[in-house]
Amino acid sequence: MAKKSRKTAARYSELSKAKKKKQRDKPSEQTGTVSVSTSQSIAEPAPVRSTVPKAVPRQAELKRGISSYQYVRADLKRIGILAGIMILILIIVSFALG
């Protein structure tokens, strides 16, 4: 079970216990009868703080993006050359064996 789920479950458990205790402490209007509430109020859970980082300004994002991909073009070029050579070899072999 995730940490947040445990916290939420514990919070709901505490709310439920408090509600039951409040009902036990509250005297009923008539002797020997049990009062039943027709509408149950559910406490709204507290908002969970997000761990998502704040938005990065556009210029900083572009600078970071350019610097992190500076080797991609060279790698793609190398991969393209190797793929072309392999395709040529396969075509030659297919003619030689066919």
Tens-place pLDDT, residues 18-61: 888 888 887 655 555 555 555 566 777 777 777 766 665 667 66
Is the overall model pTM greater than 0.85, yes or no?
no
E strand or H helix at 85, and its extent? helix 72-97
Domain-wise residue ranges, the chain: 57-98
pLDDT of residue 81: 98
Angle at the Cα of 83 (from 78 to 84), degrees rounded to 5? 100
Mean pLDDT, residues 68-73: 82
Report the distance separating Cα 81 and Cα 88, nearest Å: 11
